[in-house]
Homo-oligomer: A and B are copies of this chain.
């Protein structure tokens, strides 16, 4: 039985809690949150606290606060023989090095409290201060059904940056497309088949090799038409820079 404490009841913490509490090899012994009001709803299921000294002795302490609080929380936490991990994509592991055992347990997914995610579909990036702890964290990853990757701190930062490009920024481009559609009375769903196809293709190919559109064709007439059409200054700038990038990359 692995005893676990969850520290920080944000999107990651709550998803971890809801997933782990169903596993028979795991027992969640405490849940900490700075504001107790936010976790009062869990008090019948689990020991809750807003006092870091009350956190119970655990095999693994999962710090799932926002990035800027990790170090402060870690410094106050009595980790003992347990492994203290954080769940952040862009925070180095060594921030936790005051503990005997420490590591990172980073789920690569956009998690929200409202919609619980199935960890089977979430890659977990694992790093630890030694091989024994790596194994223990991999075991936890296996229990929740995730595919685990060993990813060191530099790689994790790289992965986080890549995820920002591939997900956060693409979502923003979808927002711009959404605006253009609704402003012109076109159902946004008209684009879904094309978007799905783009996704299917990159799962099979190096995305560079399947680039389509006016930029890769150096179709300056269409590019000019598009730029004339776009009213938003911001969208115009984004169109220009991404177009220039595609054209420049074509020579690679």
List the interface of chain A (C-beta within 8 A of B): 67-68, 90, 108-110, 117, 121-123, 125, 149, 151, 154-155, 157-178, 180-181, 183-187, 189-199, 201-203, 206-208, 210-216, 219, 221-222, 225-226, 229-230, 234-235, 237-239, 241-242, 245-246, 248-249
Q: Are A186 and B155 in contact (CB under 8 A)?
A: yes
A194 contact set on B, CB distance < 8 A = 108-110, 163, 166-167
Q: Which residues of B contact A249 (CB under 8 A)?
A: 172, 175, 234
Does B176 contact A159, Cβ atoms closer than 8 Å?
no
Chain B residues contacting A202 (CB-CB under 8 Å) are: 171, 174, 178, 195
Q: CB < 8 Å: which of B167, B177, B241 contacts A165?
A: B177
Cβ-defined contact, B166 with A173, below 8 A: yes
* Contact partners of A177 in chain B: CB under 8 A: 162-163, 165-166
Residue from B68, B196, B203, B229 within 8 A of A192 (CB atoms)? B203
The answer to whether A90 touches B222, judged by C-beta atoms less than 8 angstroms apart, is yes
10 closest cross-chain pairs (CB), A and B: A168-B213, A158-B184, A166-B177, A162-B177, A174-B207, A162-B180, A175-B207, A170-B170, A165-B177, A167-B198
Provide the bound-state CA to CA distance between A238 and B238, in Å.
8
Is A68 touching B208 in the complex (CB atoms < 8 A)?
no
A222 CB contacts on chain B under 8 angstroms: 67, 90, 160
CB nearest to A160 among chain B residues: B226
A selection of 25 A-B contacts at a CB cut-off of 8 Å is A67-B219, A108-B191, A110-B194, A121-B193, A125-B190, A155-B184, A159-B180, A164-B239, A165-B173, A165-B174, A166-B173, A166-B177, A167-B194, A167-B195, A168-B211, A168-B214, A169-B173, A169-B238, A171-B213, A172-B245, A175-B206, A178-B207, A178-B208, A196-B199, A234-B248
